[in-house]
Each structure stands twice: as structure tokens, then as C-alpha cells.
Structure 1
Amino acid sequence: MAEEETQALHCIGCGARLQTTEPQKAGYLPAATLAKMQADPDADLYCQRCFRLRHYNEVQDVELTDDDFLRLLTALGDSDALIVNVVDIFDFNGSVIPGLHRFVGDNPVILVGNKADVLPKSINPKKLTNWLTQAAHAQGLRPVATLLTSAKKGQQVDELLAMIEHYRNGRDVYVVGVTNTGKSTLINQIIRQLTGVRELITTSRFPGTTLDRIEIPLDDGQALIDTPGIIHHGQMAHYVDQRDLNLVAPTKPIRPKVYQLNPGQTIFLAGLARFDFVRGQRSGFTVYADNQLLLHRTKLVNADDFYARHVGELLQPPRAEQLPDFPPFVRFEFTPKVKSDLVFAGLGWIVIPAGQTVAGYAPKGVDVLLRKALI
């Protein structure tokens, strides 16, 4: 159905204007579904997100615009609530909410590092928790507690609920996070825990199911409030085709790959990033990225020409049809004094021995940064 034909139709669950063209936006439902609903005079008009919530207890993420983002953050500061901030451990910098600490006011924050299951088992969980807390401090955030989870596998959900109960002191709980952190998957796990996972629930009516919040009732009359995913424009996920999202959002434990490199060698991470060994002594460099991501080694002197000839083909993603809109690479050079990770936000990292001069390239807008080695 044409977009203009749906202008007067709104979802009775969340109030969003129904539309059939943008699945990731509010009010979406397939055109055929809308036509079927309109053919039945007794049918209730629900968007796909609200339909799945009502019938399957399943929350789907909806992206916020920048204006919605500011409105949501302002509301957090005006409330008296516990804030649960979900971040992606694999992509902390791409999943942190810019300036969140300025908006939460005196409200306590629990930091939840999701997707712990994709990191190598060699990473010590306690060390990782400490690192995550320190990374939050560097962003100005002072969480009262930090917890590692795997929403996909339902790990640590009981611990999170106990932690929420401990810190909320009879208040509402807001769950916030950017898109692609697995926040909705975590919320779905919480819903299953709170409503009884063994019961086949075919209808659910959560109060306050509006465009910008879903309220999950708690025993004392307060609510756990899910908010839509906030768009972080620096995420690598925004620069890949939907068919390639698995390459920037690993779902299986990463198997590190070790390269013995001489100065003057380059590794391409598909066509999404580039690593140059500029100066130093022959060393081993360990790459942590999705197991299926293409890694291609070549000579630094030929790297520019190689990329120009093969991006979109051998070096894929990006796909050939994306190249006209794909941002140019930006170069960052580092010489770490201690063993460090060169991080390509949302794509992975490469462990750099101390004293080696290296350069990392990523699409303009995507962070390339150095941190103390996790492993």
C-alpha cells in the first residue's frame, strides 16, 4: 500500500502512524498484513512490533531520531528511577550513549555488558568487568554495579533481576541502550522470567505501551520500562548491508588469528577497515574479529592500489552496490608504550606489542582507538 494511503491510520497499541516501507521504524507492518486488517471491519490495527508483543511476549527494537533521543534522555533526568544501561561488550565505544552521565542526574545506573558469550574464553570475567567499569568512568558514568550477560543465551538474567531489586528501592526501572546491543533480546528474557517461561502466553497487555516506552509491571506497582534503541551514528553496523550484519555482530565465540608481520605489511579486514604495520621489529599481531570476516594480508606499498581495485569484490563487505555511498577511510597512527589493543569500533581489535608503530583505518565516523590490552 502506498505510504500516503496510511497517513490517517495509527497503531492502537503504541499510537505510531502505520507505514509499510521502513521495517526498522515505528509503525511498520507488511503491506499485505495491513490490507488484510483493513478488509476486516472488526480487526484491530496493530503495527508489527505491538502485534509481536501482544501475541508472543516479544519486544522488537524501534530506532529513535536525534530529537527523540534528547527527549528520552531529558525524561530520565526528570524521573526518580534506577537506570539500566545495556552496552555491547564487543563494541563498547559504538554502544555507549554519548553524554548519558549528564542526563541521569542522581539516579543510580547499573551497567550491563551484553554479548559476553562471543568473547574468547581466555578473557578473565573479573578483569573484563573491571575494564568495563573503567571504560564507563572514562565516559563520565559512575555505575553502582556492573554485570556481564548473554541475552541470547539467557545468562545472568536472574542475577540482573536480583541486582535491579537491590538497587531500585521501590522505584521504576528504565532500560536504555543504543541499537544493536541486544537490549530487546535481554528485555524479552526478562519478560519470560517475570511472566513465567513455562506458561504458553498468547496475549500480553503491558500498560503504557506507547511509541517511546513499554512498561513491564513489577510486584509493588512500579514498572520496568523498556525504551527504544538509540541510534549511534558511529557504529560500524550502519555501514554494512543487512545481509552482512553478522560480520560486525558476532554470535559465536571469536577464534583469534595470529599474524607474524614485518614492517611494511598491511591486513585488510574485508573492505571495512585496514591495519598497517608501519615501523618496528617483526612481531606477532593477534586479530579478534568475527570468524567469517575476510582478512587479507598484502604489502603496505601496494595497499592503496589493492584496495581501489578490489573493494566491493574480493574485499567485501561493503558490497559493490554500496560503494557510491561508502565513506572514505580515515587514518589513525599509534605507537603504544605497552601491549595494547587497536580497536575498530564494532568490528574487532588487533593486539599490538609495545613500541610498534601501526596505523588503523576505518570509514569516516567510526572510531579507531587504542586501549590497554584486554588479554
Structure 2
Amino acid sequence: MTEALTEIEDEELRCIGCGALIQSDDPAGIGYTPESAIKKGLETDELYCQRCFRLRHYNEIAPVSLTDDDFLRLLNQIRDADALIVYVIDIFDFNGSLIPGLHRFVGDNPILLVGNKEDILPRSLKRTKLMDWMRQQANLSGLRPIDVAMVSAKRNNQVSDLLEKINKYRENRDVYVVGVTNVGKSTLINQIIKSTTGVKELITTSRFPGTTLDKIQIPLDDGHELVDTPGIIHAEQMAHVLSAQALKLVAPQKEIKPRTFQLNDQQTIFLGGVARFDYVKGPRSGVVAYFDNNLNLHRTKLENADAFYEKHMGGLLTPPTADDKDDFPELERHEFHIDQKSDLVIEGLGWVTVPAGTTVAGWAPVGVSVLVRKAMI
């Protein structure tokens, strides 16, 4: 930095959008901000790095160079803290929301499990049933949450209820908010800040993964802190498989409306070109699909499905588009025999409710989880 900024040289300046350390030397580096923007930011108390400025005003996203070691270092800080851990997951992508080995990093700190994006669930789905399932899934991953909550950060639904639970369980401690990328963690924290201080959109948010780069510390009234940690990158999320354009077309933004299909066995439903459902064996039955309302669902015969996909992917079956279909990963098949009414879930996309006494298969990009759970509706 030049002499104009000498007086603040020793002060640690951080972007209030992503938490990155502000620097003006390396335009390609994390936290880069032109000196003129640093001066202006200090005058207005709104100091953003160039990356966050472009994200906020132009919805542009720039790649970052954080490594797995960087995230591991931050997770180790959580273990050493005395804090309540608020663990945010995407209700639509539970397995993709799991932080591998989180139970080893939280130490003795209590965990409050928060399911986000509640507003896009069908109203007919019983929330208590889903919260029970969330707790069971957390237990299977080695976690024992002290409580479970559901919110819509985007709509500010039930955030006040969550705040009551945070105040109940934190017991004069700091609060660490953790989650993988793209679960709406920073949006939730913005709602909390807005509810408690009136300040709007302090932290950078985006539908793109990885917009918070370092922990952001927000002071609480009693001298403790609410700490927003970077989203841990989970490569098996649907959000990392799809391009930004495709993600807009498959990630639900409004309440999902169910679509019912009467199927004979040996029929297939394509979910755009990103996934596929096969009704392999069973009597003629109704299945109910719960996916983004704008996602094109196309039915065909199972015997023709492979050739149909090869011919129409990127055209009739989109997303992906013709421009990015060559980079799209192969679909992997997962077969299940269904003994009770169940949901076949394609993580990050939605689910199909199927009857008992059937054999079905779900196809998803390699690495994206496909699982079966007891029907929620």
C-alpha cells in the first residue's frame, strides 16, 4: 500500500461481505481492493473486497483459491472454542449438506441442527416428521444435536424462533454458524443481523458455492460473538455439478407443486437432463414427483431410455444446455426394492414418492447421493 494508507497499514482490515483480509497489492488474490475503494469503504464503514462488490452489484462470481487445508484449519478453531454450534443444512440436500467428520471437530460443544429452505417444501409435508428424519440422519453421521429447527432464511420464516433457541442453548457462549456451501448460511446470518440490529445484507450472499472466504465475527450484546464460518466445499453437491445457468433452472425457489404420473413398469421419467427415475417393476401405479416447478419432466419407455438420453440431452432434455453438456458428468444408477411407501430422493434436486411392492432406480451425476426414506407425505 502507498503512504496514503500507512496509518491503517498495521490494522487488520477485513471485507464485511466475505471476511477476507483486505489487500491492495495482488489483483488476483483473495481480498483485493483498490486503494481508492479502501478509503471510501473506511469513510462509509462499508469495506468490501472487489470480488464481493462485483457479486453484490453485478452478480459476478470470481474463483477463489482456498484449499482443503484452509477449511481444516477453520474447523480446528471450532473444536478449540467454547461455543454453541449452529449447523445449517439444506433440507433438499441433506447428505450433500453433511460436513464429513464434523463430529470430530466440534469437541464437546453442543450442536443446534437447522434445516433451511423450509418455504419450498409442499404444505402437505408434515414438518415434525421431517425434523425427526433430520435428527435420525444426523445420528447416523455421528452427531447428537441438542435440538432441531427449520427456517426459511430467504423468506425470514421462523428465524425469530431460531433466535430464541440460540439464546436458550448458548448459555453465555459464542455462536459458530457452520455449513457446507450453498445451504443459505450467510443469508440466514443476514436475517439474524437484520432482526437484531436493523442492518440489511451485511454479508455477501449468492446462489453460487463458496462466497464466504474467512470467518466473520459479529459482536453480541453480552460481549460474545456470532461467528460466520466459510462454507465447507462438498464436491458431491448438485450445486457443484451444474453450471450457474443450469442451477437456476433446477434449484427450487418457490413452493414445489407435486406432479403425478400413472406408470406401468419399464417406464422412465427424465428430470431434464440432470437425473432420471426408472419404474423397473411393479403394478400400474401412481408416483408423485416433487421437483422445481419449471424443471421439464419427460416420460418414455425404459428400453429406449439410454438412446433417448444420448440423442436429446442438451436439447429436449435440458439442463444441461447444448453448450455445457460435454462437461456434464455421467449419470450413475442406484436401484432399490421398495417394501413400504417411500421417497426416492435425488439430493439437491427433489424426490419421487413411490408405492410399496415395487422396484425403482434413480440416476444422478456420479457422486450425487440417491437414497430412499419413508414417505414424508
TM norm structure 1? 0.84
Residues 64 and 189 of structure 1, relative CA distance in 2, 3 Å threshold:
farther
Residues 78 and 286 of structure 1, relative CA distance in 2, 3 Å threshold:
same
Shift of 1:339: 1.0
Aligned match of 1:81 in 76, 80, 83? 83
**Aligned mates of 1:203, 1:152 — CA distance in 2:** 14
2:324 aligned counterpart, secondary structure: helix
> Residue type matched to 1:117 in 2?
D
- Displaced runs of 4 or more, over 6 A: 18-21, 52-55, 201-204
**Aligned mates of 2:186, 2:104 — CA distance in 1:** 24
1:301 aligned counterpart, secondary structure: helix
Residues 242 and 20 of structure 1, relative CA distance in 2, 3 Å threshold:
farther
Shift of 1:224: 0.5
Deviations 1:72-105 (A, max 9, x none): 2222111111100011111111112122112111
Does 2:35 align with 1:27?
no
Partner of 2:137: 135
Aligned match of 2:167 in 165, 170, 182? 165
Residues 180 and 53 of structure 1, relative CA distance in 2, 3 Å threshold:
closer
Aligned match of 1:261 in 260, 263, 276? 263
Partner of 1:226: 228
Deviations 1:332-353 (A, max 9, x none): 1110111111111101111111
Partner of 1:112: 114
1:335 aligned counterpart, secondary structure: strand
Could you tell me whether the CA contact under 8 Å between 1:254 and 1:290 is conserved in 2?
Answer: yes
2:338 aligned counterpart, secondary structure: coil
Root mean square deviation, CA, Å: 2.9
TM norm structure 2? 0.84
Structure 1 residues without counterparts, runs of 5 or longer: 1-10, 29-33, 56-60, 205-209
Aligned match of 1:360 in 359, 362, 366? 362
Shift of 1:69: 2.1
**Aligned mates of 2:316, 2:214 — CA distance in 1:** 42
1:180 aligned counterpart, secondary structure: coil
Partner of 2:206: none
> Residue type matched to 1:370 in 2?
V
Aligned match of 2:21 in 15, 18, 21? 15
**Aligned mates of 1:344, 1:173 — CA distance in 2:** 32
Give the number of equivalent residue pairs.
343
Deviations 1:215-270 (A, max 9, x none): 11111100000011111111111122212323332110000111000011100000
**Aligned mates of 2:346, 2:56 — CA distance in 1:** 39
Deviations 1:34-73 (A, max 9, x none): 6xx4568955684046669999xxxxx9895322222222
Could you tell me whether the CA contact under 8 Å between 2:238 and 2:349 is conserved in 1?
Answer: yes
Could you tell me whether the CA contact under 8 Å between 1:261 and 1:285 is conserved in 2?
Answer: yes
**Aligned mates of 2:194, 2:139 — CA distance in 1:** 32
**Aligned mates of 1:53, 1:319 — CA distance in 2:** 24
Partner of 2:279: 277
1:230 aligned counterpart, secondary structure: coil
**Aligned mates of 2:216, 2:322 — CA distance in 1:** 39
**Aligned mates of 2:184, 2:113 — CA distance in 1:** 14
Partner of 1:31: none
Partner of 2:3: none
Partner of 2:349: 347
**Aligned mates of 2:187, 2:64 — CA distance in 1:** 13
Structure 2 residues without counterparts, runs of 5 or longer: 1-11, 15-19, 42-46, 58-62, 204-211
Partner of 1:183: 185
**Aligned mates of 2:48, 2:36 — CA distance in 1:** 14
Deviations 1:120-164 (A, max 9, x none): 000112222212111211211111010110111111111111111
> Residue type matched to 1:170 in 2?
N
Aligned match of 1:332 in 329, 334, 337? 334
2:299 aligned counterpart, secondary structure: strand
User: Which moves more between the two structures, 37-46 or 186-195?
Assistant: 37-46
**Aligned mates of 1:167, 1:240 — CA distance in 2:** 37
Residues 202 and 186 of structure 1, relative CA distance in 2, 3 Å threshold:
closer
Deviations 1:293-342 (A, max 9, x none): 01000011110000000001111111122222211111111101111111
User: Which moves more between the two structures, 290-299 or 11-20?
Assistant: 11-20
2:119 aligned counterpart, secondary structure: helix
Partner of 1:70: 72
**Aligned mates of 2:107, 2:331 — CA distance in 1:** 37
Residues 248 and 76 of structure 1, relative CA distance in 2, 3 Å threshold:
farther
Residues 80 and 42 of structure 1, relative CA distance in 2, 3 Å threshold:
closer
Residues 339 and 94 of structure 1, relative CA distance in 2, 3 Å threshold:
same
Could you tell me whether the CA contact under 8 Å between 1:62 and 1:229 is conserved in 2?
Answer: no
Aligned match of 2:92 in 71, 75, 90? 90
Deviations 1:186-242 (A, max 9, x none): 010011112136xxx8999xxxxx952111111110000001111111111112221
